[in-house]
Structure 1
Amino acid sequence: MWAAINMGFKRSPPPYLAVVNKTQPLILKGLRGVSFASGGSGILDSTGTTITMTKQIQDFAAHKSNIAARVTAVVAKGLLAKSIFLISSGGNDVFAFFFATNGNATADQTEQFYSVMITNYTTHLKALYDLGARKFALINVPPVGCCPISRVMHPSGACLDGLNALTKGFNDRVSVLVKNLSSEMEGMNYTIGNSYNVVNDIVSDPAGAGYTDVSSACCGSGKLGAEVMCSPNTTFCTNRNEFLFWDRIHGTQATSEKAALALYDGASEYASPINLKQLVES
């Protein structure tokens, strides 16, 4: 939502299923675009519990056909080339691999995981490019070892360093991948929003970022509010803006707002090789 607001929109793009049967796609009216995202997705089809990234791209292809049926091919191509394709994925895949191996994966297993992830991510990005995407805004995976659901696995409630190291290794490989693709695919432009650095900086200096709690979930119960997931029957904190995490995995609205601002108009440690604002204006 906050990325959309920073771009000048009033709210997040509507979900694809809310506009799929509209006779006049919103993108043709110069409005908010469309969200194909859904909870529980992943870069790997085996990770997606709600809708896979593969299915999301298929839905986009159908939406493109809906647009192309109403305008000339030149107009459709121009609309898509100017559009921002915002992708935030990989965290669920990292979680799944880490806990499936009980955090004890061998070096060979880890490299195989990275290889499969990058191969699939490459396929997804190329598919979008072939469908007309030219401006990519990728959000890397935050230090998920510091989520409350991860911290409860540590005797002292500290971050799981092994999970964070796995995450950082994947992020580093994505940076190389996208740099290489941009030199191969004509007209491709991109930004990588470094949510890893944003969250890591908050965890390193909570008070400086305006937080009183960066380890517990605002909504939930049990140790660190993470042993029982957030639901209508669980309790929640009264000072949510001072919490890094809303539930045992996701950040609060305050966190989302801070992160979006850093990624949109922040310095190179939070967005590179350009930030989202520069990508929008390019």
Structure 2
Amino acid sequence: MARMALLAVLALALTPMLSWALDIRLVRQWAVKYNVSSVLVFGDSSVDPGNNNYLSTTVKGDFLPYGKDFFDGRPTGRFSNGRLATDLIAAALGHTKTIPAFLDRNLKPTDLLHGVSFASAASGYDDLTANLSKVMPVSKQLDYFRHYKMRVIKLVGAKKAAEIIRDAIVVLSMGTNDFIQNYFLEPIRPKQFTLEEYMNYLISRMSNNIMVMHSLGLTRLAVVGVPPLGCMPIVRTLMGEGKCVKKLNLYSSLFNSKIQKELATLKTTLGMKSSYVDAYGIILDAVNHPQRYGLTVTSKGCCGTGTIEYGPTCKGMRTCADASKYVFFDAVHPTQKMYQIIAVEAIKSIDKSLA
């Protein structure tokens, strides 16, 4: 009954007129029941709250209009108009309003206890993807997690630190850049792999990273699938398509099926509680049936023309009047409203894995 009540609350959260600020008591009771200590995040721009601000890279979102609907309307490095799905998950669980970047120079010791993000925009499962943009590959993100562990041990002691890490929810969200900014643009990987071989290579890298996470004491994992790549406004523009590009969506779907299969294998071999977050399905449904979510614009982003602008080309551009009506904020990244919808899906998936 408690689980049914939780799902009912989550279903209500999808109603356009409601927000995460309303009726989340049962969600927080669920978090207490499973001793959810914090949210720890690895990935790309979908979950980077500003780590790239501190890197020598051009891949940054620390300028307006990014953050225009964030607290105080300030840019933070998040590639959206407001908070990310991981911020909203943490807020729903009652830990913190936002997940800070681990590299944030204003990070307080107590912030570590609620969760942090090691994610780096433009990274991917393939280290080459990150290297092309001079950002942090997953291997570096895991190195920073090791630093995080040492800091938490110093703060609360080894025993308590182990409990915090064991009971944390880990979110892993990446893969888009491996295709959009690497395989489909750069000549290196296509010369080495067919597309399916490359997908298998990415899965092997994902699997290896998850095994490292497990060896470091992490036991609860939520992997976010890649979105429908063919529905990104910039892809539709470059491919000259009025609708989503079916071929790219098929690639996304195939890769996601491989993720799910590998997670099932790892669940058996590692005994890790893992879940899959179907970002593909929820975004595709929002694009095809926007009225279900109170959305109206699905083919372009809120920034600039909405057809090609993202990152530096979005800087200082005019935006739409109401981003909450849009699926995408720029030509690649979702709006805070879309991330809210994904956050609901994520909590439902995590709930199933912990039950």
Equivalent pair of 1:98/1:163 in contact (CA under 8 Å): no
Number of the residue aligned with 1:38? 120
Q: Structure 1 residues 232 and 97, CA, compared in 2 at 3 Å: closer, same or farther?
A: closer
The TM-score, its normalising length taken from structure 2, stands at 0.68
Q: Given residue 26 of structure 1, which amino acid in structure 2 is its aligned partner?
A: D
- Structure 1 segment 176-215 matched on structure 2, within 5 A: 176-186=261-271, 188-215=272-299
Offset from partner CA, 1:193-232 (integer Å, 9 cap, x none): 10111011111212232222101111022xxx22344534
Count of residue pairs brought into register by the alignment: 261
* Cα offset, 1:19, TM superposition: 6.6
SS at structure 2 position matched to 1:245: coil
SS at structure 1 position matched to 2:94: coil
Q: Given residue 5 of structure 1, which amino acid in structure 2 is its aligned partner?
A: A
Distance (whole Å) between structure 2 residues aligned to residue 263 and residue 21 of structure 1 = 26
Spell out structure 1 runs of 4+ moving beyond 6 A: none
Equivalent pair of 1:41/1:89 in contact (CA under 8 Å): yes
Number of the residue aligned with 2:344? 261
Distance (whole Å) between structure 2 residues aligned to residue 26 and residue 212 of structure 1 = 37
SS at structure 2 position matched to 1:87: strand
Among 307, 310, 334, the alignment partner of 1:226 is 307
Distance (whole Å) between structure 2 residues aligned to residue 55 and residue 276 of structure 1 = 26
The TM-score, its normalising length taken from structure 1, stands at 0.84
Query: Which segments of 5 or more consecutive residues in structure 2 lack a partner in the other structure?
Result: 1-86
Distance (whole Å) between structure 1 residues aligned to residue 155 and residue 97 of structure 2 = 26
Q: Which sits farther off after the overlay, 112-121 or 93-102?
A: 93-102
* Cα offset, 1:139, TM superposition: 0.9
SS at structure 1 position matched to 2:181: helix
2:203 paired with 1:140: no
- Structure 1 segment 88-99 matched on structure 2, within 5 A: 88-97=173-182, 99=184
Offset from partner CA, 1:162-189 (integer Å, 9 cap, x none): 2111111111111011110111113x10
SS at structure 2 position matched to 1:214: coil
Q: CA RMSD in A?
A: 2.3
SS at structure 1 position matched to 2:274: strand
Q: Given residue 120 of structure 2, which amino acid in structure 1 is its aligned partner?
A: S
- Structure 1 segment 1-282 matched on structure 2, within 5 A: 1-18=87-104, 24=109, 26-27=111-112, 31-48=113-130, 49=133, 50-97=135-182, 99-100=184-185, 109-186=194-271, 188-221=272-305, 225-229=306-310, 231-265=314-348, 275-279=349-353
- Percent identity of paired positions between Structure 1 and Structure 2: 26
Query: Which segments of 5 or more consecutive residues in structure 1 lack a partner in the other structure?
Result: 266-274
